[in-house]
Amino acid sequence: MPRYALKVEYDGTPFAGWQRQAEQPSVQGAIEAALARLEPGPHTIAAAGRTDAGVHALGQVAHCDLTRDWDPFRLSEALNHHLKPLPVAIVACARVEDDWHARFSATGRRYLFRILSRRAPPALGAGRVWHLRHGLDIAAMRAGAAHLVGHHDFTTFRSSICQAKSPIKTLDEITIDMVDTPTGPEIHLRFAARSFLHNQVRSLVGTLERVGAGAWRPGDLRQALEARERAACGPVAPPHGLYLSGVRYPDDPFAD
């Protein structure tokens, strides 16, 4: 059966997350239903990562197996037709080897978190940014983030229901920048790692916000990390500011 890689963009607002659920809408379920309109199902697709309810994606990657030998462009066009009017789009499609796997072949993942720091509420970005009415000290946040980069036990910054076998991860990069957007300046936090724990990014962002707000000192991040207990974590940031922005593979299946 031919295998296809799909690069997926979606607004997570109306979904209970990526993973298919029996009685709630999911991104996986939406794409599998679209596939069933093209070929008799049932279909099961696998993704590079399972985003939570309300989390968005700019570059989620999934794969599917089909019986028909589809032209990748025509497959993406057909899927997008059947996905309407849901806020899900197949932005790229490629034929891959039979043993290629969206999750297990991945060597890195990147997340973006958007914060809008201003008094006025977001009229256009509602549900897509974390709106804060107070300012943030980006220099202090960067100093705090420096304690988190590297190979650590991230027990403090993972969900209590995380199913990962080990809390030890290598966080390759955290960047924090002020970015001009059409609706005003936003603070963008970017995270890169081979893989992440459940709620790790949102836990890190929520704690870094406390540093930026002056409630925590940058060095408090080191103490929280070394505590290795969930109670030492700051508040968890809301899901609607988070985006799975990209997935890295040894050979990019979508490269021209």
For residue 9, CA distances in Å to 12, 18, 38, 106 come to 9, 11, 20, 18
Here the CATH number for the domain that contains residue 27 is: 3.30.70.580
Whether residue 99 is found in the same domain as residue 219? no
Q: What pLDDT digit, counting tens, does each position of 160-191 carry?
A: 888 889 999 999 999 999 998 888 889 999 99
75 shares its domain with 149: no
- 58 falls within a domain: yes
Residue 136 belongs to domain spanning: 108-246
What Cα–Cα distance (Å) separates residue 185 from each residue in 119, 180, 182, 228, 251?
12, 4, 8, 35, 35
State whether 43 and 140 are in the same domain.
no
152 located within any domain: yes
- What pLDDT does 168 receive? 96
The answer to whether residues 187 and 115 belong to one domain is yes
Q: Which of 70, 105, 140 is the last residue of a domain?
A: 105
Instruction: Compute the distance between CA of residue 235 and CA of residue 132 in angstroms, rounded to an integer.
Output: 14
Report the 10 Å Cβ neighbour count for 61. Answer: 26
Q: Say whether both 125 and 219 belong to one domain.
A: yes
The 8 Å CB, 24+ separation contacts for 92-95 are 92/6, 92/7, 92/254, 93/4, 93/5, 93/6, 93/7, 94/4, 94/5, 94/253, 94/254, 95/2, 95/3, 95/4, 95/5
Round the CA-based radius of gyration of the chain to a whole number and report it. 19
Instruction: Give the number of domains in the chain.
Output: 2
- Is residue 137 annotated as a catalytic residue, yes or no? no
Q: Report how far apart, in Å, the C-alpha atoms of 72 and of each of 8, 94, 105 are.
A: 14, 5, 20
Q: Would the pTM of this model clear 0.85, i.e. be above it?
A: yes
| Residue 58 amino acid letter | L
Of 52, 137, 153, 172, catalytic: 52
Whether the Cβ atoms of residue 102 and residue 46 lie closer than 8 Å to each other: yes
pLDDT tier at 146, thresholds 50, 70, 90:
very high
* Helix locations, the chain, DSSP H: 27-38, 72-83, 138-145, 200-212, 220-227
Helix (H, G, I), strand (E, B) or coil at 115: strand
Q: DSSP states of 128-159 as a string?
A: TSEEESS---HHHHHHHHTTTSEEEE-GGGS-
| CA neighbours closer than 13 Å in the CB half-sphere of residue 239 | 18
CA distances from 92 to 28, 30, 84, 197 (A): 16, 17, 17, 27
Contact yes or no for 222/213 (Cβ under 8 A)? no
208 lies in the same domain as 115: yes
Give pLDDT tens digits for 222-247: 999 999 999 999 999 999 999 999 99
Question: Domain containing 204 — which CATH number?
Answer: 3.30.70.660
- Exposed, middle or buried: residue 33 (CB in 10 Å: 0-12, 13-18, 19+)? middle
Residues 201 and 124 in one domain: yes
Q: pLDDT by residue (tens digit) across 177-226? A: 999 888 888 999 999 999 999 999 999 999 999 999 999 999 999 999 99
| Same domain, yes or no: 29 and 63 | yes
Q: Is residue 253 in some structural domain?
A: no
How do residues 59-99 score in pLDDT, each as one tens digit? 999 999 999 999 999 999 999 999 999 999 999 999 999 99
